[in-house]
């Protein structure tokens, strides 16, 4: 059974090509920018050995080889620039995003496309449109779809956001997570640092009271709807969720524009990151999909005492979330998979430490739910939403 993953960090381990002259690191321009990107990504790689990979020597969990091993047909490949989100020159003073962030994002797109074209010809493609996606599925070729995690990447003012969103649509971006880990002047967020309790997060990372979407966030959602880039509500605070659904109802009262929560869990415990029944219902009302995350911290909250220790325990815990979505929405047409692998979610659910384990997961879901429902969870629900939302 083929698998569609609504959110995984394939780009996280990639290094841009070095321009040759290390002194370019001290200069502006293409050569200097590429050296800075390379230095930043080398630091990300080093951190991933401890906080991402199954062991310090096991390597990335999201590679083309492991996706093929796990029967992954489509990977929504999340682009994310951590050093721009945690830009100490900006966020501590509450300043808007820097214009250079968008240029960094475009270079990351180039790195992914270059890597796939040069190293995985015949194995994988980057699909930029529905036609390219359907062609890849028909040929049995792994399709990577660009997504963006964090609205801070897109621009420093409404005009830049409007212009850059059009550019992202032209480059084939299928979905964008408006909020992320810290407030960067676009949308307030729920705590999503597994090592930090929610109450402490709110003390350390203060956000404006009762603010959801800012003017930048509203401009971004409006532009995304116009350009048919799917709004991803993952990471949003309750205020951001309120503002986003209100704006979508204004722009699209017929509710034909879908939304996704690409890497989520249901609220069984007390974590703000996990979605309430009301939010799940709002996603379903728009024909959306909810990708269950592979992070032990969120899936186990309120369900598992301690950590999962076996694939059977993992499937039982994931099944609780899938069943909750089915109960709230009235059927199995909205639950999907959104692993967030290589997105600093360690410890991962037992038995799902890398993409090669997707085959075992799909077989276990088929044993639990039957082939028809398992296929909807593993691929059909996500593909339906991608086709409905993507221009």
Helix axes 358-369, 311-329, angle to 10 degrees: 60
User: Cα-flanking dihedrals φ and ψ of residue 227, to 5°?
Assistant: -90, 0
Q: Which band of pLDDT confidence, cut at 50, 70 and 90, is reported for residue 140?
A: very high
Closest Cα partner for 302 from 281, 286, 324? 324
Residues paired with 309 in a beta bridge: none
Q: Label residue 91 by pLDDT band (50, 70, 90).
A: confident
DSSP summary character for residue 304: -
Dig out the tokens for 75 from the structure.
């990977």
Mean pLDDT of the chain, nearest integer: 92
Residues 170-212 pLDDT 10s: 999 999 999 999 999 999 999 999 989 999 999 999 999 889 9
Residue 66 phi, psi (nearest 5)? -75, -30
| pTM for the full predicted model | 0.93
pLDDT of residue 215: 97
For residue range 292-345, what is the model confidence (pLDDT) as tens digits? 999 999 999 999 888 999 999 999 999 999 999 999 999 999 999 999 999 989
Angle between helix axes 215-227 and 158-170 (nearest 10 degrees) is 30
- CA distance linking residue 304 with residue 151, whole number of Å: 33
Instruction: Give the closest residue to 96 by CA, choosing from 158, 168, 149.
Output: 158
Could you confirm whether domain 3-389 is CATH 3.20.20.10? no
How high is the pLDDT of residue 288? 98
Q: 49 versus 107: which is more confidently predicted? A: 107
| CB neighbour burial string for 63-90, b if at least 16 within 10 angstroms, e if fewer | bbebbbebbbbbbbbbbbbbbbbebeeb
Question: Distance from first CA to last CA of the chain, Å, rounded?
Answer: 27
Sequential DSSP letters for 193-237: -TTS-HHHHHHHS---TT--B-HHHHHHHHHHHHHTPEEE-TTB-
- According to the model, what pLDDT value does residue 15 have? 62
């Amino acid at each position: 059974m083929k698998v569609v993953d609504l959110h995984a960090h394939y780009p996280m381990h990639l290094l841009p090509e070095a321009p040759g002259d290390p002194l370019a690191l001290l200069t502006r321009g293409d050569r200097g920018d590429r050296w800075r990107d390379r230095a930043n990504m080398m630091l990300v790689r080093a951190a991933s050995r401890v906080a991402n990979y199954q062991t310090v020597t096991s390597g990335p969990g999201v590679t083309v080889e492991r996706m093929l091993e796990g029967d992954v047909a489509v990977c929504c490949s999340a682009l994310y620039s951590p050093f721009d989100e945690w830009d100490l020159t900006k966020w501590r003073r509450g300043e808007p995003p820097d214009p250079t962030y968008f240029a960094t994002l475009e270079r990351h797109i180039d790195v992914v496309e270059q890597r796939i074209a040069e190293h995985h010809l015949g194995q994988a493609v980057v699909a930029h449109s529905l036609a390219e996606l359907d062609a890849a599925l028909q040929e049995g070729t792994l399709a990577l779809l660009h997504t963006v995690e964090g609205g801070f990447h897109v621009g420093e003012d409404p005009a830049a956001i409007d212009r850059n969103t059009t550019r992202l649509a032209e480059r084939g971006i299928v979905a964008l997570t408006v909020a992320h880990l810290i407030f960067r002047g676009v949308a307030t967020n729920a705590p999503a640092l597994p090592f930090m309790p929610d109450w402490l997060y709110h003390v350390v990372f203060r956000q404006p009271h009762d603010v959801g979407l800012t003017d930048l966030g509203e401009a971004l959602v409006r532009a995304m709807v116009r350009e048919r880039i799917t709004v991803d509500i993952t990471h949003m605070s309750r205020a951001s969720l309120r503002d986003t659904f209100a704006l979508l109802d204004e722009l699209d009262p017929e509710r034909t524009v879908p939304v996704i929560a690409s890497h989520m869990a249901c609220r069984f415990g007390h974590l703000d990151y996990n979605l309430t029944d009301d939010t799940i219902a709002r996603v379903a009302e728009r024909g959306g999909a909810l990708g269950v995350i592979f992070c032990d911290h969120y899936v186990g909250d309120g369900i598992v005492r301690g950590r999962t220790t076996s694939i059977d325990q993992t499937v039982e815990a994931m099944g609780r979330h899938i069943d909750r979505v089915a109960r709230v929405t009235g059927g199995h047409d909205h639950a999907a998979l959104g692993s967030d692998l290589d997105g600093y979610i360690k410890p991962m659910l037992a038995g799902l430490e890398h993409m090669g384990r997707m085959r075992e997961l799909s077989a276990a879901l088929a044993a639990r739910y039957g082939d028809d429902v398992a296929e909807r969870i593993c691929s059909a629900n996500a593909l339906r939403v991608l086709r409905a939302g993507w221009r």
